[in-house]
Each structure stands twice: as structure tokens, then as C-alpha cells.
Amino acid sequence: MPKELTGAQILLESMYREGVTTFFGYPGGAVIDIYDALADSPLEHILVRHEQGAVHAADGYARASGKVGVCLVTSGPGATNAVTGIATAYADSIPMVIFTGQVSSPLIGNDAFQEVDIVGITRPCTKHNYLVKDLTKLAQTIRQAFYLARTGRPGPVLVDLPKDLMQAKTEFVWPEEVRMRSYNPNYKPNLVQLRRAAELAVEAKRPLILMGGGVVGSNAGPALKRIAERFSIPVVSTLMGLSGFPCTHPLWMGMVGMHGAVYANRALTETDLIIAVGTRFADRVTGKLSVFAKNAHIVHVDIDPTSIRKNVKVDVPVVADCRETLEQLYQVLEACAKTTDFTADHKEWLDRLNMFRQEYPLSYSKNGNIKPQHVIEALSQLAPENTIIATEVGQNQMWSAQFFQFTTPRTWLTSGGLGTMGYGLPAAMGAQCAKPDSLVVNVAGDGSIQMNIQEMATIVENKLPVKVLILNNCNLGMVRQWQELFYAGNYMATCMTGQPDFVKLAEAYGAEGYRIVHESELMETLAKALSSPNPAIIDVHIDREEKVYPMVPAGAALDEMLLT
């Protein structure tokens, strides 16, 4: 007679077999059996303070490690609290499995206590989701969930677990293979398309690589660098692609888009060939579509066919894995290129971009107040290699993207697609769990930090030395910036005068608190805080009037930038 396990035990055993070591969660009535079984499992569980924190933590864990992030929440409000985190991961294609408790099967549909149709609610913001109805299919469903989360275009997959199934027993059978007739992502690039791409690249006088989050997600950074260097092609990145290519590299031409560098957006405007890798040409990247890259051929590499030709017309579509494509493209290009001297061919183009870079660098003016850009520069200078930067959303996010010098992939965690305030702190916490030896810094605003500040307790409880750098301007800065620029200075509901004392708050949580109000203290205090072995909040009082520039107003063309 084979040994029977409860549903809860099967769940934990399946997670273990999928390689999970750490997951994030919050208990409740519908999942109490799982927590009961957890006592006998080798899995490490991090008890968060809010379910949204659990999902963002799993997300940060996934981005930093490349593994599937996992979280567990209870039914009803536990599940609905998780939705923002799930939508965040979906928008940024982050591999994640979310387990939600559900009321017992006989009660489903009866408006039972703490019942919601979470499968229905999350249908549009998950890659796929399941309600498990048959205990004998639990292990197989979990196997599929992890498989779906990590393959193809990654994304969050939700598995809803009725309470009675967690209590019931059955024989545990682990399916060695996953086979799904209706899901078969294509990793291999089409050779004909690669040859067409290579021919365009050989012809091009002003080629440009535009990389997105897919480069980081598929670990394509080294392959991309190899192509860029060998064929002397400058590289620009979307917000999501940052860290995929070293910002210190001479071919690095910066971030594009709404708050991109002048030279980066100039490059996108003037190029005659965009090799777009792992990006979906989001509205924040393209600006006004009708004039976007008007003179350029576009080669578009993405594993998701729906990304291609969704927003821009493409000359050469390549539906495949970014890394595999870049590796093969290198070979094909090499064969096509023959005697072409790319360095000489592209010299004029690179010179022109460097001229733009010199003329319009990312800059700010000093006036005695602490400038947020200066703070990020200082952070970049002090941070050791492999430092992981998480951000909240708004000005803090854009200044970090512009001024931090990323050199290592998977060191940039930001909510790019959904733009979720409150993402950074729990994401940093998750990243620190994945990378205990790395310095992890959450760059925050005084507004967004308060959206998930409760996770400070989790951080302290688990002795995670996360650093929170608050760029404090007592305002919801990005919205205020729009109000100033586009709404005639009508500052409705963006001034936050009742902010807490963040140093005392840090201390109340049992973390260290630092305050920086004068520029002269910046380096020393920041260095001291960053080198502490404990979690810390660093409250930096920045110039309240400072704005994020350059800026392409929404709906304008990329070369119509506001510079000051």
C-alpha cells in the first residue's frame, strides 16, 4: 500500500521538488492546514505583514535570482490583497506561482465566509490560473503551474486550493514530465528571418540595439554584449532592460523613452535599423507612434508573438528566445559580414551619438539643496558591484534609472509595466532573501514608501539588512511635476505635510534610522548607513522643486523633449 499524503503535504512536497527553498506568505483559515504541514517541511517561509508584500517579495526574489518566486495567501481578502502584486508581475513578465486558499469545495459559489472567485478575478492578470477540484491532479497542476511560469514569456500562475482538498489524503504521484498539447513556446529562431536580420545589419549605417526586460529575463546580457562589441552597435535600453548591459560600456547609449536620455532618444529617432530584443514597444518607450523611428527598419525579437506588430510595424519578426536568437544571430552575422569593417562603418554614427551625449548629458544644477540625482550618483559610487537596486514608482524610480550605473544583470527591480507604488520595499526584501550577501537598496519616495512600510517589520524580524533610501520631498513628486508642467500648477492632493519622522519610524521597527538634510553630510552618512549590517532607513531631505528631466510629454514624439 503506497503512502498517502494530505493535499497540504502534496503541495509542500511538490514545491520542494520544483526547487523552491523560500516562499512568502500569510496564513488564514483556508490555508491553515498547509501551515500545519509546513512544520515538517524543509521549506523556509517568510511571514509578511500584508499579502501584497508577499507577492512583491516573491517577485523581487524571482527578478534577483532568476528562479520562480512563490507565495501563499489565504482565501477572500488574502487573495484580493495579492491581486496588485500579481498584476505587477504579469505586466513585467516575472515567473511566479501564487497559491491561494479557497473555501471548501462544497461551499464554493455559496458566498461563504472569505470566499471570492479569485480565478475569475485574476484571469486577465495571470499567464494562467487553476482551481484544483480533484486531489489526484494536485501534483500535476503544481508541476504545470511552475512550468508555465518559467517557460515561454514568463508570468505569474495562480493555483487556487480548496480547504477540504488540503485535508484529504491521496497517493502522491509526481509526474516526471509536463506535456501540454495546447502550450508549446518556440525558443528556436527561424533561420530565414535571422539571415534577413543579418543582411539588414550589414547594410545599416546607423544600427541600434534596443533591449527590454526580455534580455534580463532570458539571461541574454552576455550574448547581447558580444554582438554589440563585435559589430560595433550602440545599445539603448527600456526601463525594464536596465542592468542587461553595463552602463559603463562605451557602446552604452542610455535609457530611452519618456524620461530617457537625449542621446538615447536621439539614437532611436535617427537610427536606420532597430534590433529590438525582448521589448514590447510600450507607449512610454515609443512616444508618438506615427513618427516613431520613421527611417528605420525594425528587427523585433520576442518570445511572445503578440508583442510583435502590436504597436509598431516590423520588417523582420523573430519569435524566439532572446538569448538563443542573439547567440545564433552572432553566427549568421559573422557569416554575412565577411570583410565588412564595422568599427569603421559605424564610426560616424557613434561619433554623432557621443556628440549628443557630450552636448546633452543627463544633468542637474546644484543650488545648495540636496539634489536627488546627486544622491543616486553618490549611491552608485558607494555601492559595491552586484548591489541590487529596487525602487518604488515615480520620481525616485526615474532618477534611479537615470543616474545609477548598472553593471550586473538582475540588479534592477522596478515595476515598469504596471507602475506599482509600494513595490520596492517588499521586492527588496525578497531580493535580499535570494541574495543574502548582496547589498540591497530600495530607493523610495516619501509617498510610495508608505504604501507597504509594514514590511519593515518582516525585514527586521528576519534580520534582512535591506537599506531604504527615501528621497523625501514631502510631495507626490511625479504627479506634482505633471501638475506643474501640464496642469498650470494646480497642486491638488500632492502635498504631504503629515509625513512621519522616518528616523523614529525606523527605530520603532528596530531598524537603524539616518537623516540627511545637508549636502555636506551626504557621502559620509550614506556610506555609514550602507555599510551597516542591519536594516536601515535613510531619510534624505531633497530639493522639493526638483523635477525629472529630460521629459517627453505623453503623446509627443521622442525628439520633442523638455530639457529643463
Q: Where on the chain is the footprint of other proteins (CB under 8 A)? A: 119-120, 123-124, 127-128, 131, 148, 180-183, 304-306, 309-310
Catalytic residue among 240, 258, 398, 478: 478
Give the whole-angstrom CA distance, residue 494 versus residue 490. 10
In the complex, the smallest distance separating the C-beta of residue 286 from other proteins, rounded to whole angstroms, is 15
Catalytic residue among 4, 44, 113, 366: 113
Q: Of the two residues 212 and 234, which places its CB atom closer to other proteins in the complex?
A: 212
Q: What is the 3-state secondary structure (H, E, C) of 301-348?
A: EECCHHHCCCCCCCCEEEECCHHHHHHHHHHHHHHHHCCCCHHHHCHH
φ/ψ (deg, to 5) at 6: -75, 165
In the complex, the smallest distance separating the C-beta of residue 132 from other proteins, rounded to whole angstroms, is 12
CA distances, 110 to each of 104, 121, 288, 333 (Å): 11, 17, 49, 61
Helices (H) and strands (E) in the chain, counts: 22, 20
Q: Of the two residues 151 and 407, which places its CB atom closer to other proteins in the complex?
A: 151
Q: Of the two residues 129 and 387, which places its CB atom closer to other proteins in the complex?
A: 129
Give the whole-angstrom CA distance, residue 487 versus residue 264. 28
Q: Of the two residues 178 and 496, which places its CB atom closer to other proteins in the complex?
A: 178
Active-site residue flag, 454: no
Contact 195, 328 (CB under 8 A): no
Active-site residue flag, 133: no
In the complex, the smallest distance separating the C-beta of residue 31 from other proteins, rounded to whole angstroms, is 22
DSSP state of 409: T
In the complex, the smallest distance separating the C-beta of residue 227 from other proteins, rounded to whole angstroms, is 27
The amino acid at residue 361 is P
DSSP state of 35: H
Active-site residue flag, 114: yes
CB neighbours (10 Å) of residue 523?
Answer: 14
| C-alpha 491: how far from chain center | 30
Catalytic residue among 18, 52, 102, 163: 163
Q: Of the two residues 186 and 381, which places its CB atom closer to other proteins in the complex?
A: 186
In the complex, the smallest distance separating the C-beta of residue 137 from other proteins, rounded to whole angstroms, is 11
Which H or E run includes 166? helix 163-167
Residues shown for the chain: 564
Catalytic residue among 13, 18, 51, 270: 51
- Both ends of the chain: CA-CA distance in Å? 76
Q: Of the two residues 131 and 390, which places its CB atom closer to other proteins in the complex?
A: 131
Cell numbers representing residue 368 in the block: 545648495
In the complex, the smallest distance separating the C-beta of residue 310 from other proteins, rounded to whole angstroms, is 6
- Residues annotated as catalytic are 51, 113-114, 163, 478
